[in-house]
Structure 1
Amino acid sequence: MRVRVDRTKCRGHGVCCVNAPDIFTIGDDDHAYVENEVVAPGREEDALMGARNCPEQAIYVH
């Protein structure tokens, strides 16, 4: 599974970081990003939770 953040849509609410802090981080520009696009085994549900709860629908999981 891969995850990415569309930084043109992200407004830095941080909901993804609350749901999956080991996957999503808020950068110095106040936008979310992922350390590694490939989600570690067993962390897929956390990545999906972060995407589902993003108010801007800026997170894509595939």
Structure 2
Amino acid sequence: MSRIVVDFDRCEGHGLCEQTAPDVFQLDDEGELHLTHAEVAPERESAVAAAVRVCPVAALKVQP
């Protein structure tokens, strides 16, 4: 199973990942990103891949 890696220093809290995969990515009231699932289940792979692509600061990666 793949894992999501977040570069929290790079993340600016734009929220596009949350809009794309809200069951995996969540921003708190201060704009800090939290993962609800660090491991990518097969049913979430396409949504997580889309969230990685839309991140404007390239703060997200998926590692095997």
The structure with the largest strand share of the pair is: 2
Distance (whole Å) between structure 2 residues aligned to residue 28 and residue 39 of structure 1: 25
- Segments of 5+ residues of structure 1 without an aligned counterpart are none
Deviating above 2 A after TM superposition, structure 1's stretches of 4 or more consecutive aligned residues are: none
Say which one has the larger Rg. 2
Q: TM-score, normalised by structure 2?
A: 0.86
Using the aligned pairs only, state the percent identity. Answer: 37
TM alignment of 1:9-48, pairs within 5 A:
9-48=10-49
Q: Cα 1:4–1:33, aligned 2, differ >3 Å: closer, same or farther?
A: farther
Count of residues in Structure 1 that have an aligned counterpart in Structure 2: 62
For structure 2, list consecutive stretches of 5 or more residues without a partner in the other structure: none
C-alpha distance in 2, partners of 1:28/1:4?
A: 21
CA distance in 1, matches of 2:21, 2:59: 15
Give how far 1:54 is off: 0.1
1 or 2, which has the higher helix percentage? 2
TM-score (norm 1): 0.88
